């Protein structure tokens, strides 16, 4: 073998010329393998491409029997080629036939070749195929030859990813990159969505792979790394970044990667071999990701996300990529994300979103609540889905069964189109119930209200047939704003909400921030357990100016009308008295300066903290109404973090302990003639809302899309009969069946649709 110090650059230059020529895919591949063999003085060069059935098919060769092209096959993990594809690691052998994984394919005529160098063709850490060179002489290939072959494999990865090889794929077969995949997750919001993938953190596609000037590219890399390091140091020095905690750990990991000389050296080597700076980042990122994905250590695998994020930051520096363009946003988007906040979801064009797929999160996390309010299907805990998807891939999200079908087969699309039509007919039936009075079979009147948080929610008040807004989350206005909303902006929103409601009651919940609801402009303290920390009314009472400003805006907005206002996360009755004093000061202030006031003011609280269970009689005497926040009340009662998927579904919300808690609340409200509403997520499911009616709740608030199914259930329900049997079951010491199975049996036996 001759010295190959200039080999990679010459090879990539030749490949660039081949890629630029107007060639058919097979001819282009044949020219590429001939060029690689010639440049590396190899007697054999072969390209194997991974098909969707897990088979590696020989697509082109120089040196082996040409009749074996498209006939020679190895399964994933089978033979040397299959081993490389499965491990995403290269193999460099001087005596290939002595390797335990060697498999002889008689149709190729490769038995006379001893030395073997094979590298995976990678994209985003996924194996798309294998590139191989072979020689008769027994020798180990040098490190620079390995690097040259890995660099060349990037060009082939781009060919496969762009779909160039579809023309030469045999009928009835398809490549792995385009294969249909079904990912099982958890159902977070019902619904079916057919559309196209939008990656929340879009992958930067590097199209300029081959460089013209090595020194210029190394200088570009150095400048981009310098800017990246400065930005990380700047973030670490900010006052809002605590000296300890997860945020700092992540940034420290970023800094460690950014200064890692091994990482930098590998990227510089790739540039010297002929790649552009951005292609070098992508190559090293893909190689590293392929190795880390196969490690079992959970800490190392978690660091893979950090490394990925950092490499993407560097790619953005080099390419000038600033984000997705709104013009490329499809009309039927299904958003894929590892995790995201509610504000980020609201940044998208709402009318174009068909679904949301999350790798993380939980059914009661805030982004899921907002997505449900928007009426879109959500699947969570869909592990690894982001890496499998590309922007623009066809996708079906099944929020009913918790499945995501990526690049679905045609017959599956047809089946789901029928399912969508069936759902549409059901929705028409629910819409037909919009003006029907919500009376149970035995004449019990139930108030069905909706939850909201933004102006875009208001049209659904009429469309759903809701009697009012039982929970208006005022914090959403704060979460989507880049700066703290001024008093005038808050007043404008509240006045507009009341105007759009057209006399229907609206219950405004005062600011509930903290915990998982972080405001980018509000400096918060790092807390080990934010759900139990400085949030909601605790924050508001410690920052009375914030609460007084909001109270003033609400009072002015409701001048001459009715105002219903409630406080979140009350723990002690004393907190209600403190908040009342602040409200009284605002009433006096507005009266003093001649401002109009509401003709009727109702003051209530959210019951979310179990401590109030031992203050129920005092509570009912202090307020005009109570709203039960079942999400947090269940979380705190059962000691389960609702954002932690490992425990969030460990206990049943329809289990005896929690139903007994809810029953105690409604009985206390009845004793004091205090109106009570339940506005948590359990109100929106026909089965759990049926349980609520059996316990004695006569007012519930839910997402607008849930009102139709709940009303359809109510119209067929004998509440009195259910109440008698349910209460008897809750009073039993050793019940013969669970409350959930009882409720399902009752519904089935009495023809109640759930």
**Residue range 467-480, pLDDT digits in tens:** 999 999 998 888 76
Residue 724 phi, psi dihedral angles, 5° rounding: -60, -50
More confident residue, 251 or 701: 701
Length of the chain: 754
Alpha-carbon torsion angle 455, 461, 467, 472, nearest 10: -30
Average confidence (pLDDT) over 125-146: 88
Average confidence (pLDDT) over 222-233: 84
- In this prediction, residue 261 carries a pLDDT of 84
**CA–CA separation, 96 vs 104, rounded Å?**
10
pLDDT band at residue 582 under the 50/70/90 scheme: very high
* Residue 5 pLDDT greater than 50, yes or no: no
Residue 358 contacts residue 404 (beta carbons within 8 Å): no
- In this prediction, residue 390 carries a pLDDT of 82
pLDDT band at residue 745 under the 50/70/90 scheme: very high
**List of domains in the chain:** 7-178 (3.30.450.40), 181-202+325-424 (3.50.30.10), 214-319 (1.10.274.10), 433-718 (3.20.20.60)
For residue 100, give Cα distances in angstroms to 61, 80, 103, 485: 24, 9, 9, 68
Residue 358 contacts residue 338 (beta carbons within 8 Å): yes
Residue 91 phi, psi dihedral angles, 5° rounding: -125, 130
Task: Name the β-bridge partners of 123.
Answer: 126
Q: What's the 3-state SS for 378-422?
A: EEECCCCHHHHCCCCCEEEEECCCCEEEECCCHHHHHHHHHHHHH
pLDDT band at residue 58 under the 50/70/90 scheme: very high
What spatial distance separates the first Cα and last Cα of the chain, rounded to whole Å? 74
**CA–CA separation, 373 vs 452, rounded Å?**
7
More confident residue, 180 or 72: 72
Question: Half-sphere exposure (CA, 13 Å, Cβ side) for 537?
Answer: 23
Residue 164 tokens read as: 């160039």
Residue 353 tokens read as: 């979103």
Classify 274 in phi/psi space as left (phi over 0), alpha (psi -120 to 50) or beta. Answer: left
* Predicted confidence (pLDDT) per residue in 701-735, tens digit: 998 888 999 999 999 999 999 999 999 999 999 89
* Predicted confidence (pLDDT) per residue in 650-696, tens digit: 889 999 999 999 999 999 999 999 999 999 889 999 999 999 999 99
**CA–CA separation, 743 vs 688, rounded Å?**
9
Share of the chain above pLDDT 90, in %: 48
119-128, 185-194, 590-599 — which is least confidently predicted? Answer: 119-128
The 3-state DSSP composition of the chain as helix, strand, coil percent (nearest 5) reads 50, 15, 35
Average confidence (pLDDT) over 565-580: 96
Round the average pLDDT of the chain to a whole number and report it: 86
**CA–CA separation, 489 vs 493, rounded Å?**
6
- In this prediction, residue 459 carries a pLDDT of 85
* Residue 315 pLDDT greater than 90, yes or no: no
Residue 16 contacts residue 275 (beta carbons within 8 Å): no
pLDDT band at residue 295 under the 50/70/90 scheme: low
Q: What is the pTM of this model?
A: 0.62
- In this prediction, residue 644 carries a pLDDT of 72
Residue 318 contacts residue 227 (beta carbons within 8 Å): no
142-156, 442-456, 688-702 — which is least confidently predicted? Answer: 142-156
pLDDT band at residue 206 under the 50/70/90 scheme: confident
Alpha-carbon torsion angle 255, 261, 262, 263, nearest 10: 50
Average confidence (pLDDT) over 164-181: 78
**CA–CA separation, 88 vs 92, rounded Å?**
13
- In this prediction, residue 239 carries a pLDDT of 47
More confident residue, 596 or 297: 596
* Of 115, 103, 46, 34, nearest in space to 74 by CA: 103
Residue 661 contacts residue 717 (beta carbons within 8 Å): no
- In this prediction, residue 387 carries a pLDDT of 76
289-303, 611-625, 656-670 — which is least confidently predicted? Answer: 289-303
- In this prediction, residue 198 carries a pLDDT of 92
* Residue 585 pLDDT greater than 90, yes or no: yes
pLDDT band at residue 516 under the 50/70/90 scheme: low
Q: Which residue has the tokens 């029997």?
A: 65
Average confidence (pLDDT) over 147-174: 82
**CA–CA separation, 459 vs 470, rounded Å?**
15
pLDDT band at residue 616 under the 50/70/90 scheme: very high
- In this prediction, residue 659 carries a pLDDT of 97
* Residue 142 pLDDT greater than 90, yes or no: no
Residue 160 phi, psi dihedral angles, 5° rounding: -70, -45
Q: What's the 3-state SS for 546-573?
A: HHHHHHHHHHHHCCCCEEEEEECCCCCH
* Predicted confidence (pLDDT) per residue in 361-409, tens digit: 776 566 787 787 777 899 998 887 887 888 889 999 999 889 999 999 8
How would DSSP label each residue in 51-109? BTTSEEEEEEEESS-GGGTTT-EEETTSHHHHHHHHHT--EEESSGGGSTT----TTTT
């Amino acid at each position: 073998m001759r010295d190959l110090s200039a080999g990679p650059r010459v090879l990539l230059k030749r490949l660039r010329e081949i890629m630029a020529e107007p060639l058919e895919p097979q001819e282009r591949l044949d020219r590429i393998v001939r060029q690689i063999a010639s440049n590396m003085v190899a007697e054999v060069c072969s390209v194997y491409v991974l098909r969707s059935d897990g088979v590696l098919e020989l697509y082109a060769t120089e040196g082996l029997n040409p009749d074996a092209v498209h006939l020679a096959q190895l399964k994933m993990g089978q033979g040397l080629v299959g081993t490389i594809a499965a491990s995403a690691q290269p193999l460099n052998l001087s005596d290939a036939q002595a390797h335990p994984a060697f498999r002889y394919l008689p149709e190729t005529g490769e038995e006379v070749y001893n030395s073997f160098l094979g590298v995976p063709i990678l994209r985003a850490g996924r194996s798309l195929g294998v590139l191989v060179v072979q020689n008769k002489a027994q020798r180990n290939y040098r490190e620079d030859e390995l690097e040259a072959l890995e660099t060349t494999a990037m060009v082939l990865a781009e060919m496969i990813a762009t779909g160039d090889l579809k023309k030469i794929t045999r009928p009835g077969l398809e490549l792995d990159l385009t294969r249909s995949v079904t990912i099982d997750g958890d159902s977070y919001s019902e619904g079916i969505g057919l559309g196209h993938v939008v990656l929340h953190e879009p992958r930067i596609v590097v199209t300029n792979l081959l460089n013209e000037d090595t020194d210029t590219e190394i200088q570009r890399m150095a400048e981009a790394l310098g800017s990246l390091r400065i930005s990380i140091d700047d973030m670490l020095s900010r006052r809002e970044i605590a000296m300890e905690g997860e945020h700092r750990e992540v940034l420290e990991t970023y800094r460690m990667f950014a200064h890692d000389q091994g990482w930098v050296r590998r990227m510089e080597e790739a540039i010297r071999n002929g790649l552009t700076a951005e292609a070098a980042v992508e190559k090293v990122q893909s190689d590293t990701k392929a190795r880390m994905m196969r490690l079992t250590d959970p800490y190392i695998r978690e660091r893979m996300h950090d490394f990925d994020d950092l490499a993407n930051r560097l790619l953005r520096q080099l390419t000038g990529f600033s984000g997705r363009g709104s013009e490329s946003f499809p009309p039927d988007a299904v958003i894929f994300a590892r995790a995201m906040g509610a504000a980020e979801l609201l940044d998208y064009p709402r009318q174009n979103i068909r679904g949301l797929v999350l790798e993380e999160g939980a059914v009661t996390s805030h982004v899921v609540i907002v997505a449900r309010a928007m009426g879109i299907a959500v699947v969570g805990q869909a592990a690894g889905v982001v890496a499998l998807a590309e922007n623009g891939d066809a996708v079906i999200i099944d929020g009913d069964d918790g499945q995501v079908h990526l690049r679905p087969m045609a017959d599956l699309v047809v089946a789901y189109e029928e399912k969508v039509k069936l759902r549409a007919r059901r929705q028409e039936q629910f819409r037909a119930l919009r003006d029907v009075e919500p009376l149970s079979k035995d004449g019990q009147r139930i108030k069905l209200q909706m939850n909201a948080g933004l102006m875009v929610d208001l049209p659904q008040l009429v469309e759903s047939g809701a009697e009012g807004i039982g929970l208006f989350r005022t914090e959403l206005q704060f979460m989507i704003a880049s700066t703290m909303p001024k008093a005038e902006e808050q007043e404008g929103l509240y006045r507009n909400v009341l105007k759009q409601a057209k006399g229907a009651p609206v219950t405004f919940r005062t600011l509930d921030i903290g915990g998982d609801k972080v405001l980018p402009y509000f400096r918060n303290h790092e807390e080990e357990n934010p759900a139990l920390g400085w949030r909601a009314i605790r924050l508001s009472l410690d920052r009375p100016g914030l609460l007084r400003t909001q109270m003033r805006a609400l009072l002015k907005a409701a001048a001459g009308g009715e105002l219903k206002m409630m406080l979140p996360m009350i723990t002690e009755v004393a907190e209600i008295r403190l908040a009342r004093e602040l409200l009284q000061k605002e009433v006096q202030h507005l009266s003093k300066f001649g401002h109009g006031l509401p003709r009727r003011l109702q003051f209530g609280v959210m019951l979310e903290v179990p401590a109030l269970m031992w203050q129920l009689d005092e509570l009912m005497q202090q307020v005009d109404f109570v709203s039960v926040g079942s999400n947090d009340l269940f979380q705190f009662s059962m000691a389960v973090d609702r954002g932690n998927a490992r425990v969030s579904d460990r206990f049943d919300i329809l289990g005896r302990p929690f139903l007994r808690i809810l029953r105690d609340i409604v009985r206390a409200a009845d004793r004091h003639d205090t109106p009570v509403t339940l506005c948590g997520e359990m109100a929106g499911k026909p089965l759990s809302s049926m349980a609520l009616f059996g316990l004695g709740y006569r007012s519930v608030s839910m997402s607008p899309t849930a009102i139709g199914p709940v009303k359809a259930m109510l119209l067929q329900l004998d509440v009195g009969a259910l109440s008698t049997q349910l209460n008897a079951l809750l009073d039993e010491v050793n019940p013969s069946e669970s409350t959930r199975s009882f409720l399902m049996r009752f519904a089935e036996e009495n023809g109640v649709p759930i």
